[in-house]
Amino acid sequence: MAQTNVNIRMDEATKVAFDKFCNEIGLSVSSAFNIFAKTVVREQRIPFELTTEVPNSVTLAAMDSAEKSEDVYGPFDNVEALMEALNA
């Protein structure tokens, strides 16, 4: 099948991070976009959820803490201990 060029514009930081990710998993950027395009054509949809919902500041702070393994409680030996911690 004949090949054609597609130009995609994105900010430099995203391009660098995407290129790094692709290299880490053994794909070229071109291969990654081809996989995306073929999935869209096959499934007739964007293959991930698109949403405008953004986590609020409390959720973002909790996510940040979890990624840093901060403020992690448990494990709990029983439901009563878990409930006590949740209600505190």
For residues 38 and 61, state if they share a domain: no
Instruction: Indicate whether 50 belongs to any domain.
Output: no
Q: How far apart are the first and last CA of the chain?
A: 64
Instruction: Indicate whether 1 belongs to any domain.
Output: no
Instruction: Indicate whether 52 belongs to any domain.
Output: no
Interval 3-28: pLDDT, tens: 999 999 999 999 999 999 999 999 99
pTM equals: 0.56
Query: What's the structural domain count of the chain?
Result: 2
Instruction: Indicate whether 73 belongs to any domain.
Output: yes
Instruction: Indicate whether 7 belongs to any domain.
Output: no
Range of the domain at 30: 12-43
Which two structure tokens, joined as six digits, stand for 75? 């494990």
Q: Would you state the pLDDT for residue 5?
A: 95
Instruction: Indicate whether 78 belongs to any domain.
Output: yes
Q: DSSP string spanning 11-77?
A: -HHHHHHHHHHHHHTT--HHHHHHHHHHHHHHHTS-SS--------HHHHHHHHHHHTT-S-----S
Instruction: Indicate whether 49 belongs to any domain.
Output: no
Instruction: Indicate whether 82 belongs to any domain.
Output: yes
Are the C-beta atoms of 19 and 27 separated by less than 8 Å? no
Q: Is the pLDDT of residue 53 over 90?
A: no
